[in-house]
Structure 1
C-alpha cells in the first residue's frame, strides 16, 4: 500500500464556523435578542425558518466538537481551518453585555483551537457598536487569546462598516497586523427576499457588495491602506460587476470619494473561493489576482461545500497559482508555518 503523499503546501480553509453556547446563554431571554429573532422571522419564510432550525440541531457537534471538525477536515482534504464564530455579533447589545459577549465568544474560539493548534486558527469578535470597547477587545483577543483577527458583519445595527466611528477599530487592526473577515448575517431587504430563501442566496451577496462599496467609495481603504480585509463568499457581486463602479468613478464627480479607480481596491483585499463554479472562480481570480484568493468552505453549513479542493482543481489553474489559492496565500496572510507533514486519510 502506498503511503499518503506529502503535501507541498498546506490546504487552508479560511471559512469555518464555531458555535459558542456560553455566549448564546448571555443573550437568551433579552429584549434585544427577541427583537433580533423577530426581524429574522420577517426576513424568512416559515419553510426557511424551519429548515434553519433543523440544520442547527443537526449540526451541533460539527459546530462545537473538535474531533468531529478534524474528521470533516480530513474528509475534505483540508490541513488547516480558520475558525470564527457564527456571524451573530448582536450589535444591539449595550456596553456591559457587549463586553461579556465578546469575551465569552473569543474564549470559546481560543479554547476550541487550542485543542488542535497545528490545524486550527481562530478569529474572534468585537462589539463594533462601541468602537472604543471594540479596540480594547481586539487587543485582548490578540494578546490574551492568541486570535489572528476578527470576524465582522456587513452592517452594525444599521450602521455601515465604513462609518467613521469605526476608524479606531480599523486603525487598531492595521497597527496589530491582524485580519478582518467580513461575513454577512441577514439582509437589509427584509420581507422582499423572504420567499424561497432569497435572503441568503441573493441577499447576503448584496449585503457584502454594498458594504465593500461603501468601504471603497468613502475612502476608508485610503485612510487604512494596511488593513487586511478578507471577504466571504467571493466578495458578493462586486468583483463580477466592478466595471460599473469604475465607470461611475470616471464619469461622475460625486462618485470620487476614493483616490483610485474602485477596481484597484479589490487587489488590496482577499476573497474566499466560495463562488461554486469553476467559471466563477476563474473570473474572480481574473479580477482580483491569484494572490488574493483563499480557499473557503463555509463549514459546516448547507450553503457551503465539502469538496473545496476538487472544485479548485476543476478551475484548471496553473500549479503555482492553484497551490497559492489552496493554501499558500492563506499561510502567508496568517503567518502560519507548514512542516510538510502528511495529511490523514
Structure 2
C-alpha cells in the first residue's frame, strides 16, 4: 500500500545560523553581513513553528552569505565541518522536517573534496551549497574543476547562493548588497559556468539557482548570443546557453510575483521551479506574506504552486518522498 505524501511545501532555500558561526564571522569583519542591519537569530523550534503556520513540510537548511571561508584555509575547513555537523544534528532530531545542503571551504579544493566525502558519506547531506564567489573566485574558475567533477560523479544537488562581489564597495553605492548585487552575482557566476563549459561537461549536476534566477531570465538571450560569438569552436550540436539554463532548477525566494515568475517561465518549464522562503534572513512576517502571495497566484496547469513545486522537489530529492525518512 502506498502512503499518501504529506502535504506542504518543500523549502529548498532556508538558512540557519549558530552562535559559534556568527562569532567567527564577526571576528572576520562581518559585523553587518553584506550591508544588512544585523545578524538574524535562529532556532529549530522557532523555524518549525513558522513552517507549521505557513504550510511548509520540509526545509533544506544551508549557511548563507558570507559562507565559511574568511581567508584562512585551515579555519575554513574547521568551520565547514562544524556547521555541517550542527545542521546534520538538526536533521536527525526532527525526522522529515529538515534537510541539509552542506557548506564547502572553497576556494580550498582539497578541503572541499574532503568535506564532500564527509557530508555525503557520513552525514547523509542532501546536497551542497556554493557561494557565487569566494574572495573573487567564481564558480567557472578552472581551479574548481576537481570539485565539480566529484559532485557530478555523485549526481549531487548543488544549491547556489549569492554573496557580495569583490567590487561591492563601489558597485553597491552604499545600499544593502542583497537588493541588487546578489541577483547580478548570481547571473555572473552562472554565466561563468556556461562560458567555462562546466555545466556542459558535468550533465549529472543538479543545480538550483536562487531568487527566480536573479537577472538570468532577462539576460539569457544576450548571454546566448555572446556565448556563440566568443566560443565559435563548439560544434553545431552542442547545447547553447539557453538550453543549458533550461536544465537548471530555480527557487521562488524573494518577490516572485507579479513579475519575476512570469519572466522565469519565459525561460524554463514549470517542472524546474521550486519553493524557497529565504528564512531566517527573511523574517517570519516576510515569509508569511510571501507564502500568501504564492498561494494566491495561479499555477501552470490549473493546480497549485504548492503541489507543483513539492512534486518537483521530490523528484530532485528522492529522500523527501519517503515520509519521516532521515538520511
Sort the TM-score into its range (normalised by shorter chain).
0.7 to 0.9
TM-score, normalization by structure 1: 0.82
Q: How does 1:257-296 map to 2 (within 5 A)?
A: 259-276=238-255, 277-296=257-276
Aligned-pair CA distance for 1:256: 6.5
Give a deviation string over 1:270-297, Cα, whole Å, max 9, x none.
1101252133213212311111110011
Deviation at 1:326, TM superposition (A): 2.9
Q: 1:321: how far off?
A: 7.1
8 A contact 2:132–2:161 mirrored in 1? yes
Which 10-residue stretch deviates more, 122-131 or 331-340? 331-340
CA offsets per residue over residues 26-80 of structure 1, 9 Å max, x none?
5664xxx13x55xx68x74xxx5xxx22xx3xx42xx2x2121111001111111
Segments of structure 1 that go 5 or more residues without pairing to the other structure are 1-5
Residue 95 in structure 1 maps to residue 73 in structure 2: yes
Alignment size in residue pairs: 315
Give, in whole Å, the separation in 2 of the partners of 1:188 and 1:325.
37
Deviation at 1:217, TM superposition (A): 1.7
Q: Which residue of 2 aligns with 1:312?
A: 294
Cα pair 1:243 1:263 within 8 Å, conserved? yes
DSSP-derived class of the 2:107 partner: coil
User: 1:98–1:321: structure 2 CA closer, same or farther, 3 Å change rule?
Assistant: same
Which one is further off, 185-194 or 102-111?
185-194
Label 1:98 to 1:8 Cα distance change in 2 as closer, same or farther (>3 A): closer
State whether residues 271 and 308 of structure 2, in contact with CA within 8 Å, keep that contact through their aligned partners in structure 1: yes
Contact (CA 8 Å) 2:212, 2:260: kept in 1 or not? no
Label 1:197 to 1:325 Cα distance change in 2 as closer, same or farther (>3 A): farther
State the match for 2:137 in structure 1: 159
Contact 1:290 1:321 in 2 (8 A): no
Q: Secondary structure at the match of 2:84?
A: helix
Find the aligned partners of 2:184 and 2:156 in 1 and give their Cα distance.
26
TM-score (structure 2 length as normaliser):
0.86
Q: 1:77 aligns with which of 36, 55, 69?
A: 55
Deviation at residue 205 of structure 1 after TM alignment = 0.3
In 1, Cα distance between equivalents of 2:130 and 2:230:
31
Report what 1:3 is aligned to: none
- Mapped to 2, the partners of 1:99 and 1:139 lie a distance apart of 13
CA contact (8 A) 2:16 2:280 kept: no
Aligned to 1:126: 104
Instruction: Tell me the CA shift for residue 131 of structure 1.
Output: 0.6
Deviation (angstroms), 1:308: 4.3
Equivalent in 104, 110, 117 of residue 139 of structure 1: 117
Unmatched runs of 5 consecutive residues or more in structure 2:
none
Q: Which residue of 2 aligns with 1:21?
A: 19
Which residue matches 2:311?
Answer: 328
Question: Aligned with 2:267: secondary structure?
Answer: helix
